[in-house]
Amino acid sequence: MAAGGVDGSTGRSGGGQIRSGTERIGGSGDAEHGVLVGRREGRGWIRVTRTVDDVPAAVLDGLRVAAPAATLLACARDLGLLDMVVLVDSALRTGCTAEEIARTAAPYRSGAPLLRRALELADGRSESPWETLLRVLHVSVGVQVVPQHTVRTTDGTFVARGDLWLPSTRVLHEYDGGVHRSSRVHTNDLRRDRALTAAGWTRRGYVAADLCREPVAVLRDIDDALGRPHRPEGVRPWIRLLSGSTLTESGRARLRGRLGL
């Protein structure tokens, strides 16, 4: 989110240029936060939110931009909870601290309640958006998992590092993106799977369609691993999270409506 001037009287960027970001309002102590939401007659239209305090900024490649925590707060005004957990995980992984995010999500700020909920679900150990989603699916069905678990043999020899470990089991659940289908990576994956099997571990890999279209099957695997009765209706909390996210058409339609697109 770039910082720049905004023509607040017209709701359009000055001089017809599309700009978004933060600007001091002369003498008022307020900050003006602009987000591009659409185009009309070839010009960019900007929705403006006035905040009591300055929006913290950072410099990235010579460009003044909103700081990560401030950007998260801006996103939380429009995105769903599941989308926000993905963003917060990424921010934590790349150096933003939970304390910074918590301070930014102070009471009475627009978007703050959702940002606080996302922070509660976040874990900076996730190494990809889909890994975050797989973890949140587990949490939503009542299962806490351990990200980036190291598996070793009884003599301490390293075997593998798994995306998600289901505690009290010898089961790893992992997200397999498209890169895992390349010849070289697939060969290494098969060797790794054999090593895990030899060490007495079970590895299950999932793809996007499993999380978005067949979550009950993922829940069945979780229940089997934990030795608990399978209740298909237990996936409902995940379905609610999913339906409010940009992974679904209903979630994308909701976002377009909020942005006036």
pLDDT at position 33, please?
A: 42
pLDDT at position 97, please?
A: 96
Q: What's the predicted TM-score (pTM) here?
A: 0.80
Locus of tokens 């999270």: 241
Listed as ranges, residues in the chain with pLDDT below 70 are 1-52, 180
Q: What are the pLDDT digits (tens) for 151-174?
A: 999 999 999 999 999 999 999 999
pLDDT at position 199, please?
A: 96
pLDDT at position 5, please?
A: 30
* Pair of tokens at residue 158: 């390293």
Q: What are the pLDDT digits (tens) for 186-208?
A: 888 899 999 999 999 999 999 99
pLDDT at position 105, please?
A: 94
Under 8 Å CB-to-CB from 70, ≥6 apart: which residues? 55, 56, 57, 104
* Pair of tokens at residue 3: 């910082």
Domain limits, the chain: 14-121, 129-243
pLDDT at position 44, please?
A: 56
At the topology level, CATH places domain 129-243 in: Endonuclease; Chain A (3.40.960)
Q: Give, in order, the Cα–Cα distances in Å from 70 to each of 42, 135, 138, 210, 255.
A: 29, 25, 29, 33, 19
Q: Are 221 and 204 in contact (CB under 8 A)?
A: yes
pLDDT at position 107, please?
A: 84
Question: Taking Cα atoms as reference points, which of 125, 203, 130, 137 lies closest to residue 165?
Answer: 203
pLDDT at position 47, please?
A: 66
160/180 Cα distance (integer angstroms): 15
Phi, psi at residue 25, to the nearest 5°?
A: -90, 115
Phi, psi at residue 255, to the nearest 5°?
A: -65, -40
